[in-house]
A and B are shown apart, each in its own frame.
Chain A
Amino acid sequence: MSQLDLTSQALDIRPRPRLQYQALEPRALKSGFLTGLTWLAALLAAVPLFSVIYMLLIQGGTRLFGADIAEVLTGLPPAGFEMGGGIGPAIVGTLIMVGIASAISIPLGILAAIYLGVLDSTSKIAKTARFLAKVLTGFPSILAGVFVYAVIVIRFGYSATAGGVALAVLMLPTVVLAAEEAMSQVPQRMKDAAYGMGCTRTQVIWKVVLPTGLPGILTGVMLAIAGASGESAPLLFTALFSNYYISELAEPTASLSILIYNFSGMPFQNQIELAWTASLVLVLIVLVFNILARILGRPKV
């Protein structure tokens, strides 16, 4: 600012604002303070995650990566006071029930998404179904168990199938909404080009929409699977638990999450260690599906 500036005289009447940044000004201090708080909040929010991971590795890892890894991964759960034992039936049970849930919810979910996203996205049925799917994502997972108990368990008893159906109820809305989102991202021009060549809508869907939307659909599917693997409330009184390997779908079935729940409240050190080990395995399974979701969802360019 030159003193010789001709306009300066006229402006001298009013105090000139100081435009450069001043670190000690109250508003700057306040801003800095809030920035510090935000950093603190972000770092604090990361603490539980690292604490959980630390506990999983220390408490569960020593057992899992120890000398008796084969027994831990394949052995039967120990009786109340026994030493040793493993979580084999629970791993298999979780995978099978998630498999059943996937076999039901993925085809059904993708088909429904095709209707919602491509065939008739503004019809009354589509709007209602979409709304209900969104409501279902916020549906308390235990109510899926209550529902399946009333419909299946009362008539046919506890079974892997009942557990799978309960998980399917929870997976369905995730699959539907993710698949619909993925398919609605497919450019209209691509579809138009296919219609222009005389394709039926079905052909457009199978040959254009599905292949193009596949990464997004797979991401949704993997996330749904990851979520279902970690669920416990809907299995509590549908699949129950078992101390043996599953041999048919119509019998009570073990799962990792229920094993953790059961063992977490036991007064025996061996069981508590196994609960941590099972938690580590469960988190690893969930993570694998989460990572798959990321890899598959990456646009292939």
Chain B
Amino acid sequence: MIAVFKHELRSYFHSLTAYVFGAFLLAFMGLGAMLYNIQAAYSNFEFVLSFGSLVMVVIVPILTMRVIAEERRQKTDQLLYSLPITTVEVILGKYLALLVLFLIPMAVISLYPLIFSLFGDVYLPTSYGSILAFYIMGAALIALGMFISSLTDNQGLAAGIGIAVILFNYYSVSLSEQVSSTALGSVIAMVVLILILGAIIRYVTKNENLAFWISIVLIAAVAAFFYVDTAAFEGLLPRIMSALSLFDRFTVIVNGVFDMTAIVYYLSIIVFFLFLSVQSLEKRRYN
């Protein structure tokens, strides 16, 4: 694992990726700090982070796009499979390298509240609480990006899908207010989601029967629930959409409540996508 970690970290500094990621994050945060803390003279650094979370939509997929896709394209994944290291070690090594890379600009950003506190009253606990939460949220997004990168051998595609997914997640709360909240609307949306899930299973496992039957069973379950308890489906879709939002939970923390459920949510997202990445890499051995 240490070997993979070191190797990844070095290769990021060999290429432009690490610098582009750090530069964009710092530039955007700097812009935020100028707008909120200097021009508008707010003493809350949290607002800057909230503003800065938008840039994560673009820079996280750029950071993670090559992490596994490139191994596949260059066929170096064969080397990883033949070395005496496990897939879990490969994924963890790569993930830790990404976390360290993300930590570097965050360390710089951590100085801002201290600097501002020299010129006024900054409530440091919320500032640093938010910085920590921002880091963990970023870590969750990186785990998601890594999984997307493991699905394809095309970096561009990995970045595109990553941006689309994270952008959707970013706006899911505002979108959830627009979508139909009727029971039938929710059912239709659920069916569409199940079909997308089925397509992903089909793509990852190359097993048509499995994908088909999982979709059928889930759709049947939804239909049965709808028949039994129609009322439960009222407003279900908006509820799901806002529950899935990573950014919405961060807003709660920015507003001054260090919500432990949000942290637990982020950590479970991380574990979930790391697990999926391992599975996706492991699956390659089967087809």
Answer whether A and B are interacting partners. Answer: no
